[in-house]
Amino acid sequence: MLIKGAAESGARNLKVFEMQDDHGRVAPDAIRQAAEFVYDVSRSQNVVIQAAVLTSPEFWASDDLMRSFVDRQILEWNMPVNRDTYPRSQIYCSLRVVVCSSGPNEPYQTAFPIILMSLQVATNVGRGGTLEPLRDELVQERFRNKLRPKLEEQAPKVMDAMARFARKYARTYREERGREIGEDLRGVSYGWPPYLMLDYLATPVFKRRGRLVDIEAEYDADGKRIGSKVILQDEQGRFEGEIVDWKFIHLEPNVGVGLWDRYTLREEENERLKAKREGREINWEVIGVSDRTVLRSFALAGEEYLKANRRQE
């Protein structure tokens, strides 16, 4: 269970409580500590209580991505990561994607697919997280046709839901604020979201449900680690979990502009290394594709705004 102050950001004033023991029984001490923490925080602000989501990059990430994460944690944060022996490091991960459109009658476009990984619950780059563009080769082959496509499929649904919310509660907004939501010169409501970065957790759907008890290394015939096996437990004992699908849990919308440059730096580094391996010049056309996607939406919206402004002159 995760508990945090509703007024906090960046996982400040957040605590995680394990509500069950190793046998799946309720842990009374954890409940008492959680209740005390809720009481302390609630004296100054509202409290968010969230059930922990079963998620780990070990479930879907290629071993190249996991080894890169270990190296970068050491080099960038001076933090050791133990994936192979007990006690194993707890690795957290969230996925982010930017959604944008030039107008309500245009489809939403997706950009900046991002992987954020950390040894802390909050995967923020400024709090020990590492950022990497979500590329197909960083996903285990068996999940490549599901993970990123499903993420990009889910994101516009959040934007549509926010637009419906604004329309549904327009009257409430008027009564509480004393003014209308309003619209721009194009006639587009200010309640319609043209751009947002959306934060998600990817959680697996198992063929047979159980409680996560371990994540074991998986090797190929040559002894090279190629991924991980998820070990679950139910009343019949331990077994290897078979992932048949993925669910995406939306955490929050935010501006996310602070990650644009972090994303571009990783794009440049990855292309530089790839060009070196292939013995060619850097292809600058593959860098900044997401920037151009978002800026194109802004430019088209601005063009329509200027046209509307001229018509009123």
Structure tokens at 256: 């996310």
pLDDT digits (tens, 9 = 90+) for 242-261: 999 999 999 889 999 999 99
For the chain, the first-to-last Cα distance in angstroms comes to: 58
Q: Is the pLDDT of residue 10 over 60?
A: no
Q: What angle in degrees, to the nearest 10, is found between the helix axes of 289-312 and 260-278?
A: 140
In whole angstroms, give the CA distance from residue 182 to residue 191: 8
233 vs 23: CA distance, rounded Å: 10
Q: Among 211-220, 269-278, 279-288, which is the least confidently predicted range?
A: 211-220
What does the block give as tokens for 116? Answer: 């954020």
Dihedral sign, CA of 233, 237, 240, 243?
negative
Confidence of residue 272 (pLDDT cuts 50, 70, 90): very high
Q: Is 138 helix (H, G, I), strand (E, B) or coil?
A: helix
Rounded-to-integer distance, Cα 57 and Cα 214, Å: 14
Q: What is residue 126's DSSP assignment? A: G
pTM to 2 decimal places: 0.84
Over range 166-175, report the average pLDDT. Answer: 96
Nearest to 258 by CA among 2, 9, 73: 9
Give the integer Cα–Cα distance in Å for 181 and 193: 13
Would you place residue 304 in the very low, low, confident or very high pLDDT band (cuts 50, 70, 90)? very high
Burial, 277: exposed, middle or buried (Cβ in 10 Å; 0-12, 13-18, 19+)? Answer: exposed
Instruction: Inform me whether the pLDDT recorded for 308 exceeds 60.
Output: yes
Could you give the CA distance from residue 156 to residue 260 in angstroms, rounded to a whole number? 20
**What per-residue string of b and e applies to 215-231 under the rule 16 or more CB within 10 Å gives b?**
beeeeeeeeeeebbebb
Token code pair at residue 257? 């502009």
Farthest CA pair distance, the chain: 76
d(CA 259, CA 112): 9
276: confidence class by pLDDT, cuts 50, 70, 90 = very high
Q: Write the pLDDT tens digit of every residue in 40-94.
A: 999 989 998 877 788 899 999 999 999 999 999 999 999 999 998 888 899 999 9
% of the chain exceeding 70 in pLDDT: 97
Rounded to the nearest integer, the mean pLDDT of the chain is 91
Task: Label residue 11 by pLDDT band (50, 70, 90).
Answer: low
Instruction: Specify the range with the lowest mean pLDDT, choosing from 28-32, 44-48, 50-54, 189-193.
Output: 50-54
Is a pLDDT exceeding 80 seen at residue 313? no
Which range among 19-33, 183-197, 256-270 shows the weakest confidence by mean pLDDT?
19-33
Q: Which residue has the tokens 């190793």?
A: 22
Here the tokens at position 78 are 């001076």
Confirm if 57 and 118 have CB atoms less than 8 A apart: no
Q: Residue 64 is encoded by which pair of tokens?
A: 């190249």
Q: What local confidence, expressed as pLDDT, does residue 33 receive?
A: 94
Q: What is the pLDDT of residue 226?
A: 81
Provide the residue ranges of all domains of the chain, joining segments of one domain with +.
1-52, 53-312
User: What's the Cα-to-Cα distance from 179 to each of 50, 162, 164, 190, rounded to whole Å?
Assistant: 34, 19, 19, 12
